[in-house]
A and B are shown apart, each in its own frame.
Chain A
Amino acid sequence: MADAVFRITDLRKSFGPTQVLSGVSIELHAGEVTVLMGANGAGKSTLVRIVSGVYERDGGTITLNGKDFAPTSPAEAIRAGVVTVHQNINDGVVVTLDVATNLTLDRLNGAGAKFLYNPRRVRRQARDVAARMGLDVDLDAEIGKLSLADRQMVAIARAMAHEPKVLILDEPTSSLSSAEANRLFSVIDRLRGRGVAILYISHRMSDIRRLADRIVSLRDGRITGLFDIKPLDYEGAVNAMLGQKINLSQVAVKDADKTVFSVENLSLAEQARPFSLKLGDGEIVAITGLVGVGKTAFAETLFGVRRPLSGTMNLRGKAYAPHSTADAIIQGVFLVAKDRAENGIVKDFNVYENMSLPFLDRISRFGVSRRRAERAVARAAIADLGIVCRTERDDMATLSGGNQQKTMVARWMSQPANLFILDEPFQGVDIAARRDIAAKLRASAAGRATLIFVTEIDEALETADRILVMSEHTIVGEHRNAEVDIDRLLAEIAGQPVRSARNDILQAHP
């Protein structure tokens, strides 16, 4: 199309050996909202950072109104007319300053900025900025006292004062309530009407339905789908984003016999429908759903990090209500937390010290740790899971992502579990390591219940006996992994009102 205001062609970016963007091409048109969908790690943030001048690209071209666009700093990108509102709202405002100063903050820097700070001039400019956006907040209020939505409006209003041609919104509703989100949507409508080309990054289906003129799906650093014919094919977009291919390694699905763990009428969030589920001995159950639908909240509830709003849990016939992670571990409930660098790896520790961490009390004698025993356990795990390292004393940083993840899994497999939970265990893991981990989970499944939380459907199909779908902090669908109706699964993930299908499930599993 000739009328693209902003055109990204064959954009490439690598960090070390990892190629994050491998040839991404996107066009943005004036007066249109283009939605970019992508799972975690698909490369969305990297794309945003390149366009907003934070990162330098490795290859590819970007043009703005036909002219080459290569910002070397965020300020330069803004001057050129490409404005980005970042996901973390508080990154966009200075919480200790008042609204007026925040609205004009960018005018305090750069060429032409006055040396003296004149409060009257600032207020006058701030009033202009606010009026142009129809922003109705007290200019004297301190930002810290405003709601998140108001803070975001301030950030957007400031951005719009530059009359940008391109506006990039990175998951702007991730911390807003639905009423607040609606206010944001009407602002976006107004900007669209004014001819701004908008790139809207989100995986919230309700946002996307409300706003999208076109949808682009990003997966593993590549564009996997472009949808611009109305009515938009939302399921197709989800499919392209999650990359459901015909699963290669069909698992031999087992049906569980006796129940190990169950939850009754568990409620994870206000207004979320309570749900119940049962997990059987030797069974691997995958819970899938988009980011932010409550998967991690559920995992953390099971592991004693947070408490459910209501409902009960039951482990091997006894009531289960862990008051701490230590309590959960004692009762044999283990969690391989998502994002290993943040929540798993102690980077000053070597491989065997990382593996023994939760069970030091069991390995120690009179409080004195027994390194020989720790190392023996680690060596066995290294051989068992095929962890590639020189010795068990290697630094964690020398291991590849897949091997780091294997170490995290091995950490929790060194002791018998009643309920073994893995939250996004395949994130940032190469395909070979992913297969190894899944095979190991399946081979060792007997004697415990295993629950994995995954965003990507492939990972569920490759690993689980049963697949549950989570949406809006509750379970909305269930599939036996032998006869999965992919269309229904995708519809459930996308939160489509497929009443008939959902009623079937509810009737089958009252």
Chain B
Amino acid sequence: MTLRDFAIKYGFIALLLGLIVFFTLATDGFASPQAAVFIFQSVAITGVLALGVTATLVVGGFDLSIGSVATTAMMAAAYAMVVLEQNALVAVVICLVIGVLVGLINGYLIVYMRVPDLLATLGMMFLLVGLQRIPTEGRSIATGMTMPDGSVANGTFSPAFLALGRHRFDFFIPNLIPVSVVVLLILAALIWFFLEYTRFGRMMYAVGSNPKAAELAGAPVKAYKIWAYVISGVFASIGGILLAARLGRGDIASGNNLLLDSVAAALIGFAVLGAAKPNAFGTAIGALFVGVLLQGLTMMNAPYYTQDFVKGAVLVVALVFTFALSNRGRS
């Protein structure tokens, strides 16, 4: 193995370890269970979204609507509980249905209407950003708010729903691991197994790499593409549920960074272990990478714009790793 091969394969993992060592030395309390959990919690939602977008990257597509699907789900959950006074289960189901619907519409636009993936999902993003604000005329949703018709919304977030964002499981130390981290780990394991070890996942990779060959091998290419967008939509809506549960209200100002952070995580994932292709493990590492970076910079008191700059720089470097250094990115 040449140095170059080694760099391609382990470069990003080494960089991640290097970052952890650096932050441990440079700050107080970076290497503690609490800090580790905090990092996981900070990346849980973007991680879930990134895993969803990975599915669309696998079939050779892209989903720009994930951030707005998540915030739409958040607003819908808040609306269901606060305004309609429904319970946690109904709120969750509504969110998931939104995810499925948006995924189906995205898939339909891309597969049957032949709208390019970036444009279709970009359009969907704008549509949802507006749609989620229509019911409340642009106001955030919280208990006691005044509705457009003058009435007051008296519903509350149910404790069961809030637990999704706030409950912590004991893990050696009491109250250590938040639910959102558990959800992330379960979804990561599921999508990893699905993509790597089931025939459906394998076919999705075939569809992404050479749709003509996949079709001539008997694969229903259109169905696979649509399914990928449904997966992406559902994952994004789960992210939205976690976001709503953490905030405890429907905040129209939140979730601005979700799209960019999760897309960055998925694209950084290309470079992990020299995969040069979208993959669930890489995406999870990518999300962790972003989390470590941001947490470390925060602890070093770096301002938010520096963090954005560093995040962008890391993404660019990861893409260079993927497309320039590894031969598989070529041709």
Contact = CB atoms under 8 A, between A and B. Distances in A.
Interface of A: 303, 305, 324-326, 328-329, 335, 337, 342-349, 353, 357-358, 360-361, 363-364, 367-369, 395, 411
B99 to A, nearest CB: 22
Nearest to A356: B202
A349 B202 CA distance: 9
A345 B213 contact: yes
Contacts of A343: 212-213, 216
Given A343-B212, A367-B198, A367-B200, A348 B217 contact: no
Nearest to B206: A346
Contact of B217 (A325, A367, A368): A325
A395 B330 CA distance: 14
A369 B199 contact: yes
26 contacts: A303-B216, A328-B218, A329-B217, A342-B212, A342-B213, A343-B212, A343-B216, A344-B213, A345-B213, A346-B206, A346-B209, A346-B210, A346-B213, A347-B209, A347-B331, A348-B208, A348-B328, A349-B205, A357-B214, A360-B202, A367-B199, A367-B200, A368-B197, A368-B198, A369-B202, A411-B217
Contacts of A346: 205-206, 209-210, 213-214
Nearest to B194: A367
Contacts of A345: 210, 213
Interface string B70-99: 000000000000000000000000000000
A348 B219 contact: no
A344 B205 contact: no
A337 B218 CA distance: 12
- Chain B interface extent, by class: 20 to 34
A361 B199 contact: yes
Contacts of A326: 218-220
Contacts of A342: 212-213
A335 B218 CA distance: 10
A368 B202 CA distance: 10
Nearest to A365: B199
B225 interface: no
Interface string B276-318: 0100000000000000000000000000000000000000000
| Interface residues of A, dominant DSSP | mixed
Given A342-B213, A348-B277, A349-B206, 18 more contacts: A324-B218, A324-B220, A325-B217, A326-B220, A328-B218, A335-B216, A337-B213, A342-B212, A344-B213, A345-B210, A346-B206, A346-B213, A348-B208, A348-B328, A353-B202, A357-B214, A358-B217, A368-B198
B5 interface: no
A343 B277 CA distance: 21
A428 to B, nearest CB: 16
Interface of B: 197-200, 202-203, 205-206, 208-210, 212-220, 277, 328, 331
Nearest to A335: B216
Contacts of B213: 337, 342-346, 357
Contacts of A324: 218, 220
Given A360-B202, A369-B202, A347 B210 contact: yes
Contacts of B217: 325, 329, 357-358, 411
A325 B205 contact: no
Contacts of A348: 205, 208-209, 277, 328
Nearest to A369: B199
B322 to A, nearest CB: 13
A466 to B, nearest CB: 26
Contact of A344 (B198, B200, B216): B216
B200 A329 contact: no
A332 to B, nearest CB: 12
A363 B199 CA distance: 9
A146 B271 CA distance: 47
Could you say which of B200, B205, B210, B328 has the most chain A C-beta atoms within 10 Å of its C-beta?
Answer: B210
Contacts of B197: 368-369
Nearest to B215: A325
A357 B219 CA distance: 9
Contacts of A411: 217
B216 A337 contact: yes
A101 B200 CA distance: 50
A358 B213 CA distance: 10
Contacts of A360: 199, 202-203
A296 to B, nearest CB: 12
B212 A358 contact: no
A369 B199 CA distance: 5
A349 B209 contact: yes
B128 to A, nearest CB: 32
Nearest to A353: B202
B293 to A, nearest CB: 29
Report which residue of A328, A345, A360 has the largest number of chain B beta carbons within 10 angstroms of its beta carbon: A360
Contact of B218 (A344, A358, A364, A368): A358
Which of B200, B202, B203, B218 gathers the greatest number of chain A CB atoms within 10 Å? Answer: B218
Contacts of A358: 217-218
The residue among B197, B213, B328, B331 with the most chain A CB atoms within 10 A of its own CB is B213
Contacts of B202: 353, 357, 360, 369
Contacts of A303: 216
A360 B205 CA distance: 13
Contacts of A353: 202
A266 to B, nearest CB: 21
A-B pairs with lowest CB-CB distance, top 3: A360-B199, A358-B217, A326-B218
Contacts of B205: 346, 348-349
B226 to A, nearest CB: 16
Contacts of B219: 326
Given A368-B197, A368-B198, A329 B218 contact: yes
A353 B210 CA distance: 13
